[in-house]
């Protein structure tokens, strides 16, 4: 990383950390929290889906597991941070349990298999815990937005930073090699299964942490809600809109997703999901690299033009 980038990132974090002191309105803070949540989710999904090439449609299961464990522990008197950690770890245990059989499935069967797994959990949790996860009165009266905000900010930094460190490590290169061509990677001594499992584990851990933070943040929701397939599809949508297999892609995708959704809900109401569907289809058809690649294309076009102009000048 160039020092300019580091300065920019540090500045951005400082600004985000000071944001609640400037902004009075709770609704704006809530919107920023939502953006953090979706950045975490998209970045986590991207580790497995974008960098390792395993399209998962079952990440709602990890999110739900994290939320469930955290909520149950926390409302029974455990401190919140260990509870969230426990949620993340439970998601990992579950991910590794299903990982070994799921990775015997290739490509599309993996995608459908994970969807099926998440649906099994979704239905089962809905049957076993049909009630609303409401907060106990003492927690409700003590509820404050600030600790939630900083928790989400911290998690966002950890997850994005973690993803960055991971993909720039030797292991990250292995993951990408597995994505590009499994056989070739294997022949060079990169164990495909090992890399996939670790990518899945880390991805699930981060998603589980996000679930835990969600359980700490949301006052009341159905236990089943965090297991619904919408979460998995949202993660996939954001990453594809932003750009798969990049660090910036999921961040841009998440910001774009939340802000546009908010804007559309306010302005066109019921039509917003249709517009989202159309948008998503358009991105898949015409912008396979997401917004990040569009930016690159525009920049390259500018550079090329600048070079052409330069050539013209020098020819004179």
Separation CA 129–CA 221 (nearest Å):
12
Question: Residue 103 Cβ, how far from another protein at the closest point, in Å?
Answer: 10
> Are 132 and 221 a contacting pair, CB within 8 Å?
yes
Between 20 and 126, name the residue whose CB sits nearer to another protein. Answer: 126
Question: Residue 61 Cβ, how far from another protein at the closest point, in Å?
Answer: 12
Among positions 171, 222, 276, 295, the unique one binding another protein when judged by CB under 8 A: 276
Element containing residue 132 per DSSP (H, E): strand 132-133
Separation CA 102–CA 59 (nearest Å):
13
Separation CA 247–CA 137 (nearest Å):
41
Task: Report helix, strand or coil for 136.
Answer: coil
Between 81 and 274, name the residue whose CB sits nearer to another protein. Answer: 274
Separation CA 262–CA 255 (nearest Å):
11
- Residue 22, interface with another protein (CB under 8 A)? no
Task: Report helix, strand or coil for 54.
Answer: coil
- Residue 277, interface with another protein (CB under 8 A)? yes
> Residue ranges of the alpha helices (H) in the chain?
3-22, 26-46, 59-75, 80-102, 107-128, 137-141, 145-167, 170-180, 182-187, 192-217, 229-242, 248-268, 272-286, 290-315
Q: Which of residues 230-259 bind another protein (CB under 8 A)?
A: 233, 236-237, 240
Region binding another protein by CB under 8 A among candidate stretches 31-39, 171-179, 279-287, 292-300: 279-287
Per-residue interface string for the shown chain with another protein, residues 96-115, x marking contact by CB under 8 A:
-----x--xx-xxx-xxx-x
- Residue 154, interface with another protein (CB under 8 A)? no
Question: Residue 261 Cβ, how far from another protein at the closest point, in Å?
Answer: 12
The site for another protein (CB under 8 A) is made up of 55, 101, 104-105, 107-109, 111-113, 115-117, 119-120, 123-124, 126-127, 229, 233, 236-237, 240, 270-271, 273-274, 276-278, 280-281, 284-285
């Amino acid at each position: 990383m160039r020092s300019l980038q580091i300065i920019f990132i540090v500045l951005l974090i400082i600004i985000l950390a000071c944001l609640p002191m400037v902004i009075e309105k709770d609704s704006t803070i809530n919107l920023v929290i939502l953006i953090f949540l979706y950045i975490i989710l998209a970045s986590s999904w991207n580790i497995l889906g974008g960098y390792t090439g395993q399209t998962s449609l079952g990440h709602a299961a990890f999110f739900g597991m994290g939320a469930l464990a955290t909520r149950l522990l926390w409302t029974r008197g455990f401190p919140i941070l260990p509870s969230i950690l426990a949620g993340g770890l439970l998601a990992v245990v579950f991910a590794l349990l299903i990982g070994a059989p799921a990775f015997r499935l290739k490509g599309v069967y993996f995608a459908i298999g994970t969807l099926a797994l998440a649906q099994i959990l979704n239905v089962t949790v809905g049957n076993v815990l049909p009630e609303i996860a409401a907060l106990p009165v003492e927690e409700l009266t003590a509820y404050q937005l600030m600790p939630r905000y900083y928790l989400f900010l911290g998690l966002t930094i950890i997850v994005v930073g973690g993803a960055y460190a991971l993909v720039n490590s030797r292991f990250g290169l292995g993951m990408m090699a597995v994505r590009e061509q499994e056989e070739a990677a294997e022949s060079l001594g990169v164990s495909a299964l090992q890399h996939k499992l670790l990518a899945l584990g880390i991805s699930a851990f981060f998603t589980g942490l996000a679930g835990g933070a969600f359980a700490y943040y949301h006052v009341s929701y159905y236990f089943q809600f965090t297991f619904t397939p919408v979460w998995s599809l949202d993660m996939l949508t954001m990453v594809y809109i932003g750009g798969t297999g990049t660090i910036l892609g999921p961040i841009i995708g998440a910001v774009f997703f939340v802000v546009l959704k908010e804007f559309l809900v306010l302005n066109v109401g019921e039509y917003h999901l249709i517009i989202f569907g159309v948008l998503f289809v358009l991105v898949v058809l015409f912008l396979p690299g997401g917004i990040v690649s569009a930016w690159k294309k525009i920049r390259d076009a500018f550079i090329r033009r600048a070079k052409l102009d330069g050539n013209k000048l020098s020819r004179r």
